[in-house]
Amino acid sequence: MDFMKEEIKVGLTNIVTEKVTDKNTAKKLGSGSLEVYATPAMTCLMEKAATEALEPLLTEGWTTVGISLNIQHKAATPTGLNIRAEARVTAVDGRKITFEVKAFDDREEIGSGIHERFAVMKEKFMGKALGKVQ
């Protein structure tokens, strides 16, 4: 397909990590009142894992955007621990790529779900988005 310089295959996996600090807690991000790893931070890390898996395979001028994310945040993680997010391609349907995503802290799995991304031409996508302000 024209958006891929290399075929995106089922099974493609990527892992990203970050540390839980006061900057990514539920209290700081406004998604709760406790100083534990925030659900929005976890979902962002899951999306980052998926995005970074695809970027090297895309043709110049193309990127992917998230179109759906259905996750469960199963366990709390205090500051000081590390988080690992994994994204694995489970389906490729034209320009739509589906991932199984999981997140772990130093002790256990803390979240999992399904994430979908869609390949878009950067210039066309941004043109449409910026058209909203004119």
Say which residue, 49 or 134, is predicted with more confidence.
49
How far is it, in rounded angstroms, from Cα 28 to Cα 20? 12
pLDDT band at 1 (very low <50, low <70, confident <90, very high): low
How far is it, in rounded angstroms, from Cα 48 to Cα 6? 20
Query: Of 2.40.37.10, 1.10.3720.10, 3.10.129.10, 1.10.1380.10, which CATH number belongs to 13-133?
Result: 3.10.129.10
Average pLDDT of 4-20? 96
pTM: 0.95
Given the structure tokens 């179109």, which residue do they identify? 67
pLDDT band at 5 (very low <50, low <70, confident <90, very high): confident
40-51: pLDDT as tens digits:
999 999 999 999
| Domain regions of the chain by residue span | 13-133
